[in-house]
Structure 1
Amino acid sequence: MKKLICQYLFRTAMVMLSIFFFTICSQAQTIDSTLATYSTKYAQERAYLHYDKSSYAPGETIWFKAYLMQGLELADGSKTFYIDWVDEKGTVLLHSVCPVVQSVTNGQFDIPENYTGSAIHVRAYTRWMLNFDTAFLYQKSIRILSKTPATAKVAPVTSLEFFPEGGDAVAGIRNRIAFKAADQWGRPVSIKGVILNSAGKVVDSLRSIHDGMGSFFLQPEGNATYTAKWKEAKGVEKTTPLPVIKPTGIAMQVGISGTRRIVAVNRPADAPDNLKQLYLVGTMHQNMVFKTGVNLSTELSGTKMIPTETLPTGILTITVFDAGWNAIAERITFINNNDYSFPTEMNVAHWGLSKRGRDEIEVTVPAGITANLSVSVTDAGIAADSSSNIFSHLLLTSEIKGRVYRPAYYFSNNSDTVRQQMDLVMLTNGWRRFKWEDVVKGKFPTITYPKDSTYLTLSGKVIGVHQSQLGAGSSIIMIVKQNDSASKMLMMPIDTKGNFSDPEMVFFDSLKIYYQFPKNKGLSSADVRFMSDRLAALNYSKNFSPFATISDTTGSYRHMKLAGERASLMEMQKVKMLENVTVSAKTKPTVQVMDEKYTSGLFKGADAYQFDLLNDPFAASSLNIFQYLQGKVAGLQITQSGGGASMQWRGGSPQLYLDEIQTDVDMISGIPVSDVAYIKVFRPPFMGGSGGGNGAIAIYTRRGGDVQSTPGKGLASNKVIGYTPIKQFYAPNYSSFQQRNEERDLRTTLYWNPMLVTTPGKQTVMFTFYNNDVSQSFRVVIEGMSSDGKLTRLEQIME
C-alpha cells in the first residue's frame, strides 16, 4: 500500500511538473508571437519638428517641418498630422491640421502681435499616437521674446531622485543606484554629499559627475533605511530618503565593453525558487532582438555577454523575467553603431555678406540617396539653441520618459566619456512601451483612434433618422463655396450607415456648405454632422510648467532689437496707408457695437465677459462653443466628453441662452462656431433669469449684414474646416525692382525651405537668398531624412 501511494505521488508530481514546463514554454511562445504582432500591427510612430529658428518675437511667424518615423523606417501610414499651439495658461491658440506626404509635412504659426507670454508650447501627434502613452507625444516649449517688464526672480529649488538599476534595491545584494539632481525647470544641479544608514553611519559618498547625474554602489541590510545628506555648491544642506529596500528580488547590472553589453544578475541566498531560473529578453522598437536563460539554481549570480555590433542605433531594453515569466527587472542601454545618418555637404557658390547681397549655396548628399531636407538661414547673431536636434529627438528623447538636458550633446562625438555619460541618462530615465503582464498573456492595446490612413476630405454623416430610411439611392445635394473661388454643386451618395464622402476633395482652410436632401427620399427631418473624422485639439486644463530661459542674452537682445525695429516699420507703413483717411468720430470698441446690436433688456450692459467671434481669427479653429470658451473665463470650468459638455462656476452650472432664449448643453453643442457672432458670459449672479446664481452664457447667432449674400441662401448650411492653409515663405528678390524692396530689411530669418529634395540622379541642389540690411554672418541649418530612414544634420556659420 505504501508503495502504491509513493507511485501515485510520483506520477502526480511528474504530471504537475509537466504542466508547469508546458505553461512556461507556452508563455515563452506567447511572448514571441505577441511581440511579433506588436512590431507589425501596433508599431508606434514618433515625430520631430524642425523650426526656422529657436526663439521668436510677438508678431513673427514660426515656420516648421515635421518628420515622422516608425521604428527604423519612415512612417507612411498616417496621412494627417495635428499640432496644438498652446499658451502658458493652457489655451489652444491654434489647432493645426496638416497633410502628410511621404512621411513629412510643413506649415507655419503666426504669433499674435499682442502675445505677452514667455513661451508657446507645442504638442504634435498623429491620431494613431493617441492610442498609446501620451508621454511619448512630441512636445517643445518655444521661447517668445517680450518687452514686458521682468517679474521678481524665482529662486531655484533643487530636487534629488534615486534610480536603482533594474528597478529595485534588494537587501543582501550589491546594487548600483543612480541619481539625478535638477531644479524646477529641469536644469541640472551639481551636488555632493554622503549616504547614511539607519544608525547615521556613512556608508558611501555622493557626487554628481555629469549634468547633476551620478551613481554609487550599496549593499543594503534587510529592514534598513538609508538617507542621502547633500548640498549644492552654494546651497544649504538637505536630506533625501533612498527608495525602500526590497527584502528579496533580483539586482541587475549592465556594463559596456566595446560593442558588447555585459548583463549581470544577482539573487539573495534565500531567494524563492521562482528567482532561480531567469530569462533575459532584449527588445528594440518593439522587436525582440534576443532571448536567453540564466540558471541561478546553484549560483547567486550569473552573467551574459550580449553582442550588439549588428544591432541598429537606438535604445535596447533588457528585461529580466522570473521562472513564471513575470517581469521583475528592466534596464535600458543606448546602442550607437553610427549607422543612423548620412553626410550632407554644403558649398557656398556665391558669397553675398554685404547689404542685400546675393548668396548661392549648393547642398550635396552621397550618390544614390533620395533625401527630403529642410533648410533655414538666420542671422548668426541672434540666439540659437543647439541643445536638441533631429538625431537626439528621434533616436533618444522620443523613446524615453523624463526630460534629458541638452540631449544633442550625446551625439557630439563617439568618445568613451560621452558613452559613459549617455549611460547615466539611461539609468535615470524610464522606458515603458510595454505592459509586460499583458504581453505574457497575449493581450494587445485597445485601439480607440484608428489610423488616418486616408487624407481629410469633404465628408459627413446623416443623423436624426432611422437607418431603415437610408435605403439605396439616398443622396445629399450641396452647394460648396470656398474663399476666392466660385460656388459649385455636388451630389454625394449616402451609404446605409448614413456616411458620405468625396475622396477626391482634399481642401485647405474652410468651406461654406449649403445642403438639402431630395424631397422624395423622406429625409426632411435629418441633420448632418460634417467632417466628423477631423480630430479636435487635446484638452489642456492646467497651466504648464515654468519655462527655462535661454542663457544667450546677447543673441536674445539682438533678436528683440531687430524685431522691435521691424515691428515699428510695419506700424509706420500702416499709418502711411491711412494718412489720407479723415477720422471724424471716436470709434466704438467692436464688442460695444456687438452688444448694442444683439442684446436687449437685462442682457444689455452688465458685468460680463464679451467675445466678438466675427473678428476673432482663432474662432474658426474651434469645433464647438465650449471648446472656444475653454480657458477664456476665470473660474469657469468646462469639461468635454464625446459630443457633450459640463460646466462648473462657483459650485454650480451657469444658465445657457441662445438668442436670449434659455436652452441646454445639447442644443448649444450642435451649433457650428461659424454661425455664432457674439458671446456674452455674465458673472454670478445673473439677474436676467431665474436660477442665475451661477452666472449665464448668452450666445447670439449671426444676423443679416454679418455675412455677404451667398448662393444657396435659405438652405441649411454649415462651415467646415479642412487642412490648415500652408503659406509660402517670403524672401525678397533684390535682382529686380519691386516697391516692397524700398522698405528697410531687418529679417532675422533670411531663408526657409521645408522641401529641398535630392534624388539618385540629382545629388546636388542649389538655393539662393539675399542678405538683409544688417547681418554680417549667417547660420545655416540643414536637417532631413532619406527614403530608407537615415537622418542628417548640418550646421554651419557663413561669415
Structure 2
Amino acid sequence: MSKVLYVELINEKDSIKKQVKLPLISGITWGDFKLTDSLSEGNYRIRAYTNYMRNFGTEFFFDKTIKIGNSWANKVFTKTDYTFTKENSTDKVVANIHFEDKNGVAYKENEVNYDVQLDYKSVAKGKTKTSLSGDAVINFTSSQLLANKSGRIVATLTLDNKQKVVKTIPITSTSNDVDVQFLPEGGSLIENLPQKIAVKSVNSTGRGEDIKGAIVDETGTEITSFETTYLGMGSFVFNSQPGKNYTVKIKFKDGSSKDYKLPYAQKTGYTLAVNNLDTAKVAVKIMASESLVNGSELKVVAQQYGNVFYVSKAKMDKQVLMASIPKKNLPIGVVQFTLFSATNQPVAERLVFINNTVDLINVNLNTSAVSTARKGKSTFSFEATNQNKPVLSSFSVAVTNATKVTPDEDNETNILSSLLLTSDLTGYIEKPNHYFQNNDLKTMKELDNLLLTQGWSRFLWRNIAAGNGPAITYKHENSIPISGTVKKGGKPVPGGKVMLMATKGSFFILDTVTNADGKFVFDNLTFPDSTKFVVQARTKTERKFVDISLDVVPNQIVTKNKNSGDIEVNVNNSLMKYIKESDNYFNEMTRLGLLERTIKLEEVTITEKKNPAKNSANLNGAGRADYIMTADDLTTCITLSQCLQGRLPGVIFRGNTPYLMRSQDTPMQIILDGMRVEADFLDNIIPSDVESIELLKTIGNTAIYGSQGGGGVLVITTKRGGGSASYNHYAPGVVTLNPKGFSVSREFYAPKYDGEVSNNRADLRTTIYWNPQVVAENDGKGKFEFFNADEPGQYRVVMEGIDAFGHLARKVYTYDVK
C-alpha cells in the first residue's frame, strides 16, 4: 500500500497553486492549505492521488471543484449574465458584467479592458466602459471549429485612482445546446427483444436537463413516450422490430424540439437486464435471439474491484433465463454484472449499486452533554460498531454554524459518495450525495438510471482475458527516496561511495555504496518540506571526478476539469452571505494577532541597479562583495581559472588555485552554491554554468566566514535551470537538491472558555471545530469536545470515518444554539 499522498490546489487556469505531500499511516492522513487573503476568488480544484494511482490515469483521482470567495481584501465584485443566440453554425454570446464594490455601489463609467478566451485561444479583445448602473456589455462569437466551448473573460477594471483590478470570469458555455444520448441496458440494442433504454440529457454547461420525448416509426405512428425524472436521466422499455426505422422526437424546457435517431439494433444477440429495486435481492434476466437458443453455456459474473462475488452458469435452452441473488452476498457499492458467451467473450454488462448497510460502521452518538448556550462546552461521546461488534476506527469531525454556512447537501462530496460511487465511475457525477440522502424507491430508481447512463472503464474484460494490464511505471511509495547513478567517463562506477547530507530544515548524514550498475538509493527517508540536501560521490579509490545523475519522477500533468457542471460563474455572489458574515470574524482574528493580512501597496515605479548576483548564497547578502563577475565575463575561456586569472583584483593563481596577494600561504575558500569545496576544485566547474562570482577580500566581507575566510572567499553561483529537476548538477562529484518533503499539518484553532477569568471577547467563528483524528479505541468508544461560538444558529456536526477493514461511517447531527 502506498504511504505517500499528494494533494493539490488547482486554479481555473489548470495550474497548481499549492501542493502538499502527506504521510499515510494505515491509509489515513490529514493536512491543510494556507490561503492568503490575496488569493483571487474562483473555482478551484482539490486533487489527491498516490504515485501508484498514476499508472491508471487521472479519471480515478479524487478531483473536487470548490468555490473560494474573497471579500476581505476585495474591492471589486462582479455578477455576469450570458445570453446566447445562433446564426447558421456560429454561436453568438452577449456577456453582461456588473461591477460593484462590497457595499453594492456600482462602478460607473469606469474603463474596462477585456480579453475573451475560448479553448485557450483569444477570440475577442477590446475596450468598453461601465454604464451608470455599473454594467459592461461584451459581445463575442464561437465557431464550430473550437473543440471546447468553455473558457474565460479576463476583464481589467480601471478604478478612479487609476488602480487596475483584474477579474477572471468563467465561460461555461457559448450556447443553449442540449446533448441527448440513448443507452440500451446491457450495451447493445437487439431486434425482437424487449429492452430498457436509458436516456441522458445534458446541457452545454455539463448539467442534466429534463426533457420529454416520443418514439415514432417511419409512418409517424407513436410507439411509446417518456420523460426524464431527475437531472436529465430516465428510461423506457422498447422492442425494436426488424425492418423498422425509429425517430425520437424531443421537447426541451424552452419549448424547442429536435429529432434524434435511436441506436442501431443488431439482428441477433443477448441482453442482460437487472432489477435492483428489491431491498433483499437482485433479479437477473438473460434474453437471447431465437437463433441463439442452442443450448450453449453462458456465464454471469458479478465482481467489484476484481473480486468475484457471484458466478452462475446456465445453458441457453430457452429464450429467457432468470436468476435471483441475495443482496447480503454482495458488497456495498458499485457491482459490475457481466454476461459471457460460451467462448468466454463478454457480450453484455450492467452496473448496479448495492446498498448493503451491514458493511457500514454504525455510530451511536451520545448527545446528553451537548450545550445549547453561547460559548457553552459541548461534549460528544460515541460508540462505533459493525455487526454489533466494537471496531477500532478513525474519524474526522467537522462542526459548522449551518445558519451561516448553508450546506448544499445533495452536492456534498463525502466519504460515502466518493469511495462507494464516484470513484468507480468516469466523467462528471452531478449531485452525488443525493443518492445517499434517502433509501426510498424514488431515489433507488434515480440511482439506477445513473448507473445505466454513466460509462464504466474500471475493468476491460478483453484486456484481462488477454493478460494486458496497464503498464506499471510508477511504484508504490513507502517513503521519500533519493536515488541515482554514479558514472565516470560515461561508465557506471560500481562500489562507489555516496554520502547524503541534509543541510537545511533538518540535519543528518547517511552513506551507502553503488551497486554493479553504479546505482544507489537512500530509502525510508522522512523529512519536512524545504529540506536541502547535498549528495557527494567518490570512486572506491576516493577519486572525486565523477558524475552524479539523480532519479527524478516527472510531475503529474494537470488535466482539464472534468466537473464542468460544478463551475460557478459568479463565485463571490453565490458565497456572498457567508463571506460577508466572515468579515467580522477575520477582522477580530486580525486584531488579536491570530490572522495575517496582506497589505497591498499602491503601485509605484522603482528604479534600481540590477543585482548581478541575486541568487547568491553570500552570507553577507547577495551582491555584497568587493568585486563581482557575471556570466557575460566568462564566455571566452575554456576553464574557470583561465577566466579569472588577471581579472580579479588582488588575486593571483598558482596552477588553478587562487590566492590573495596579501596572504599567499593560504588558498582562497571556494563557496559553490552555498557549499564549501576545495580550492583546487575550481576547474571542475564549467564556465558556461556560472551565473556570478563574488570576490570577498576585505575584513568586512570575510569576517562572517571566520578563520576559513582568512585567505579570502570566492562565492560562485551557478545558473538556475527551468526544468522539472529539483537539483543542481553543477560539478562532478557533488550535487545539491531540494526535494518535496512532507508538509507539517497545523492544529485547528478553537478557543476555550472553561477558565475562571470571564472572557467577553466576541467569538464569530463559522467553523466551530475540526479534528481530523478522533479515534474509537478497541472497545469502539470515542469522545470529542469543543466550545460553541458566540452566535446562535443551527450547529451541524459531521462525522466520517473508516476502520482497519475498510468499513465506512458517516453521521450527521444538528443542534440549536440559542
Per the normalisation by structure 2, the TM-score is 0.67
Instruction: Compute the displacement of 1:102 (Å).
Output: 0.9
Aligned partner of 2:771 in structure 1 is: 753
Conservation of the 8 A alpha-carbon contact between 1:166 and 1:331: yes
Instruction: Compute the displacement of 1:575 (Å).
Output: 14
1:322 aligns to 2:341 (yes or no):
yes
- What are the residue-to-residue correspondences of 1:642-661 with 2, within 5 Å? none
Aligned partner of 1:729 in structure 2 is: 748
Deviations 1:342-380 (A, max 9, x none): 221333454555444333332332453101000011122
More helix by share: 1
SS of 1:517's equivalent in the other structure is strand
Conservation of the 8 A alpha-carbon contact between 1:264 and 1:303: yes
Distance 1:396 1:754 in 2: 23
Instruction: Compute the displacement of 1:702 (Å).
Output: 8.6
1:264 aligns to 2:282 (yes or no):
no
Aligned partner of 1:53 in structure 2 is: none
Aligned partner of 2:655 in structure 1 is: none
Question: 1:597 pairs with 611, 624, 645, which one?
Answer: 611
Instruction: Compute the displacement of 1:174 (Å).
Output: 1.8
Instruction: Compute the displacement of 1:754 (Å).
Output: 0.5
Conservation of the 8 A alpha-carbon contact between 1:371 and 1:785: yes
Question: 1:207 pairs with 211, 227, 235, which one?
Answer: 227
Residue ranges of structure 1 left out of the alignment (5+ in a row): 1-76, 600-611, 615-656, 663-673, 677-697
Q: Kindly tell me: are residues 493 and 341 of structure 1, through their superposed partners in 2, closer, same or farther at Cα, counting changes over 3 Å?
A: same
Distance 2:566 2:705 in 1: 47
The amino acid of 2:528's aligned partner reads F
Distance 2:279 2:594 in 1: 68
Distance 2:348 2:444 in 1: 23
Distance 2:693 2:208 in 1: 57
Aligned partner of 1:89 in structure 2 is: 13
Conservation of the 8 A alpha-carbon contact between 2:43 and 2:568: no
Aligned partner of 2:250 in structure 1 is: 230
Aligned partner of 1:312 in structure 2 is: 331
- What are the residue-to-residue correspondences of 1:228-307 with 2, within 5 Å? 228-256=248-276, 257=278, 259-270=280-291, 277-296=297-316, 299-307=318-326
Per the normalisation by structure 1, the TM-score is 0.68
Identical aligned pairs, as a percentage?
A: 24
Aligned partner of 1:142 in structure 2 is: 66
Conservation of the 8 A alpha-carbon contact between 2:487 and 2:518: no
1:406 aligns to 2:418 (yes or no):
no
Instruction: Compute the displacement of 1:164 (Å).
Output: 0.3
Conservation of the 8 A alpha-carbon contact between 2:293 and 2:318: no
Distance 1:278 1:172 in 2: 20
Aligned partner of 1:456 in structure 2 is: 480
Aligned partner of 1:495 in structure 2 is: 515
1:470 aligns to 2:399 (yes or no):
no
SS of 1:426's equivalent in the other structure is helix
Deviations 1:174-226 (A, max 9, x none): 22101122334443322212112233332110212333322112222335443
Distance 2:563 2:546 in 1: 45
SS of 1:309's equivalent in the other structure is helix
Distance 2:255 2:815 in 1: 43
Instruction: Compute the displacement of 1:128 (Å).
Output: 2.0
- What are the residue-to-residue correspondences of 1:366-377 with 2, within 5 Å? 366=385, 368-377=390-399
1:416 aligns to 2:441 (yes or no):
yes
Conservation of the 8 A alpha-carbon contact between 2:191 and 2:239: yes
Aligned partner of 1:71 in structure 2 is: none
Residue ranges of structure 2 left out of the alignment (5+ in a row): 72-76, 85-175, 617-629, 636-671, 675-687, 696-701, 709-714, 717-733
Q: Kindly tell me: are residues 370 and 475 of structure 1, through their superposed partners in 2, closer, same or farther at Cα, counting changes over 3 Å?
A: same
Conservation of the 8 A alpha-carbon contact between 1:469 and 1:523: no
Distance 2:210 2:673 in 1: 57
Distance 1:587 1:418 in 2: 56
Aligned partner of 2:194 in structure 1 is: 174
Distance 1:765 1:372 in 2: 9
Question: 1:506 pairs with 526, 538, 544, which one?
Answer: 526
Aligned CA RMSD, in angstroms, stands at 4.2
Instruction: Compute the displacement of 1:306 (Å).
Output: 3.3
Distance 1:710 1:537 in 2: 42
Deviations 1:427-447 (A, max 9, x none): 112323222222223443322
SS of 2:769's equivalent in the other structure is strand
The amino acid of 2:395's aligned partner reads L
Q: Kindly tell me: are residues 303 and 354 of structure 1, through their superposed partners in 2, closer, same or farther at Cα, counting changes over 3 Å?
A: closer
Conservation of the 8 A alpha-carbon contact between 2:206 and 2:565: no
Q: Kindly tell me: are residues 702 and 228 of structure 1, through their superposed partners in 2, closer, same or farther at Cα, counting changes over 3 Å?
A: farther
Distance 1:516 1:755 in 2: 40
Conservation of the 8 A alpha-carbon contact between 1:477 and 1:516: yes
Deviations 1:464-515 (A, max 9, x none): 546865233x2223442233x5x44443433334444444530121212234
Distance 1:742 1:494 in 2: 65
Aligned partner of 1:42 in structure 2 is: none
Distance 2:368 2:574 in 1: 28
Instruction: Compute the displacement of 1:103 (Å).
Output: 0.9
Conservation of the 8 A alpha-carbon contact between 2:486 and 2:519: no
Mark the structure with the bigger radius of gyration.
Answer: 2
SS of 1:798's equivalent in the other structure is strand
Question: 2:566 pairs with 542, 547, 565, which one?
Answer: 547
Instruction: Compute the displacement of 1:780 (Å).
Output: 0.9
Distance 2:595 2:813 in 1: 40
Instruction: Compute the displacement of 1:587 (Å).
Output: 8.7
Conservation of the 8 A alpha-carbon contact between 1:383 and 1:553: no
Distance 2:522 2:363 in 1: 42
Distance 2:602 2:772 in 1: 45
Q: Kindly tell me: are residues 199 and 135 of structure 1, through their superposed partners in 2, closer, same or farther at Cα, counting changes over 3 Å?
A: farther
Conservation of the 8 A alpha-carbon contact between 1:254 and 1:262: yes
Say which structure, 1 or 2, has more relative contact order (CA 8 Å, 6+ apart). Answer: 1
Distance 2:198 2:239 in 1: 14
Conservation of the 8 A alpha-carbon contact between 1:91 and 1:540: no
